Amino acid sequence: MPILPGALHTAEQVRAIDRHGIDVQGIAGYGLMTRAADAALTALRARFPGARRLRVWCGAGNNAGDGYVLARLARAAGLSVDTVALVPPDRLRGDAARAWQDWQAVGGQALAAAASRLPDVEVDAMLGTGLDRALGEPFVPAVTALNPGAVPVVALDIPTGLHADTGAALEVAVRCAMTVSFVALKQGLFTGAGPAHVGALVFDALGVDAAASGIPASMYRLEALASARNLPPRRRDSHKGDHGRVLVVGGGRGMPGAARLAAEAALRAGAGLVTVATLPAHVSAVVAARPELICEGIEDTTEGLSRLDVLLDRADVLALGPGLGRDAWARALWARAQAFEGPVVLDADALNLLAEAPEALPGNRVLTPHPGEAARLLGVGTGDIQADRPAALAALCERYRAIVVLKGAGSLIGRAGETPYVCERGNPGMASAGMGDVLTGAIAGLTAQLGCAWQATLAGVQAHAQAGDRAACAGERGLLAGDLLAELRRCLNP
């Protein structure tokens, strides 16, 4: 099978690309259906070579047609196949109806689930990319029957119940061992609930030339962006001043570790000099943990804030918010930092303080919210963010005019006027304290070197996720943010 393309599309765009294949390239609709079924069967047999019995769950539309064609091809290949008809086949139209008739012609039947046999592999051909509302009967019981996972499930094009555009699970969705996607990749496969339901992803364009269709990408895979991995080499005669000065402002009461993690991540990302501005009581703890850091204690007094002004004047990039808090000290430093004109990476309580008084920001600001922080920034609920992560990203970029990293499974990166990116790396072990601090520092450190906050954000998100995957090789459970620091260095020096 071909490697995954870099461009992702919405369901509506995929339908337009599909029409291009039929109307312009001259590929018959039933021919596309046959190609899809053949590609899926090939992928299934490669992944599960010992499978001898399949059960294909067929629903409505062309997704059901794909399933009936796959059943016919599988039987012709010597496999035992049952088809469960969740929608009466006489309600199918067009190519899907023809697929049913061809299956029936070779002895295929429309069985109820209870009348079928337990297979080696289940095939989800129930509903395709057009689903835009919660599942109802008879699909909810079918999904519920498949989801215990005792038998692996292969989805045709997209798992039933997963929204092709948003990546949200519509009430329930099939959890698959593998999904075989056709024609063009759907953006919902990569973010939100998508990665948890898709399983291994295989793609086949079926001979349709998406590029020739003129349909632009709705999103790009960050994995396919070479510049997110290939950083410029350092000059042999360079010195630390050539690689940028980062100032980390944070580490409020009880949280010196957050500022320290961000600062060390900036160093590990290659920044030349990194300074931490924190509470005076935290200076010794930060320096003892990482003596390469410069650390200054800042009081919320006239003298202390004047000293912060000096540090801001010296910095090329500001990382604002890790462990900052929202007390009087934090608010004083937050207010003082607003005068900084260089690139700023905002995280944690800096985002919460911004949410109290939302305003458009300079284009060199980078916001790194998790869904809860994103909800506060937009004045909605966390569920609203997760229900449509691409729309939430667009709303954040529009409201704040900044670069935005919407963190979570399938982190999204965007800015106004730019096609967004999705990061498909990362793992559940990264759902632990301090991971966002490391990301903030990595982006700040790369910005200090590259001089471009957008390129640094793309590279930082990719390297952070990749470092998390490398660190998780010893197991996801118990993964610490600090475990990423050494791996971050390795990921930025391939």
Residues 121-171 have pLDDT tens digits of 999 999 999 888 888 889 999 999 999 889 999 999 999 999 999 999 998
Quote the CA–CA distance of 453 and 363 in Å, as a whole number: 9
44 within a domain of the structure (yes/no): yes
Number of domains in the chain: 2
pLDDT at res. 2: 53
pLDDT at res. 171: 84
End residue of a domain, out of 184, 217, 250: 217
- Whether 360 and 309 map to the same domain: the answer is yes
pLDDT at res. 245: 98
- Whether 259 and 201 map to the same domain: the answer is no
* pLDDT reading at 1 higher than 50: no
156 within a domain of the structure (yes/no): yes
- Whether 101 and 55 map to the same domain: the answer is yes
- Whether 181 and 247 map to the same domain: the answer is no
The range of the structural domain enclosing residue 253 comes to 226-491
- Whether 175 and 259 map to the same domain: the answer is no
256 within a domain of the structure (yes/no): yes
* pLDDT reading at 228 higher than 70: no
Listed residue (403, 402, 459, 471) closest to 435, CA to CA:
471
- Whether 331 and 442 map to the same domain: the answer is yes
* pLDDT reading at 229 higher than 80: no
* pLDDT reading at 117 higher than 90: no
* pLDDT reading at 3 higher than 90: no
pLDDT at res. 242: 80
- For the segment 268-279, what is each residue's pLDDT rounded down to a tens digit? 999 999 999 999
First to last CA, the chain: 27
- Whether 157 and 122 map to the same domain: the answer is yes
- Whether 188 and 246 map to the same domain: the answer is no
Q: What is the mean pLDDT of residues 355-384?
A: 97
- For the segment 243-296, what is each residue's pLDDT rounded down to a tens digit? 999 999 999 999 999 999 999 999 999 999 999 999 999 999 999 999 999 999
pLDDT at res. 241: 87
Give me the amino acid identity at 43. A
End residue of a domain, out of 217, 251, 285: 217
End residue of a domain, out of 170, 190, 217: 217
148 within a domain of the structure (yes/no): yes
137 within a domain of the structure (yes/no): yes
Task: Determine what percent of the chain is predicted with pLDDT higher than 70.
Answer: 99
* pLDDT reading at 14 higher than 70: yes
Please tell me the least confidently modeled range out of 30-39, 133-142, 345-354. Answer: 133-142
1 within a domain of the structure (yes/no): no
Banded model confidence at residue 407, pLDDT cuts 50, 70, 90: very high
HSE toward the beta carbon, residue 408, CA cutoff 13 A: 27
- Whether 142 and 242 map to the same domain: the answer is no
Quote the CA–CA distance of 26 and 349 in Å, as a whole number: 56
2 within a domain of the structure (yes/no): no
- Whether 193 and 238 map to the same domain: the answer is no
- Whether 139 and 278 map to the same domain: the answer is no
Banded model confidence at residue 115, pLDDT cuts 50, 70, 90: confident
- Whether 295 and 396 map to the same domain: the answer is yes
The CA distances from residue 410 to 148, 187, 203, in Å, are: 24, 10, 18
CATH number of the structural domain spanning residue 460: 3.40.1190.20
CATH number of the structural domain spanning residue 63: 3.40.50.10260
pLDDT at res. 136: 86
Q: What is the mean pLDDT of residues 363-381?
A: 98
Quote the CA–CA distance of 491 and 462 in Å, as a whole number: 9
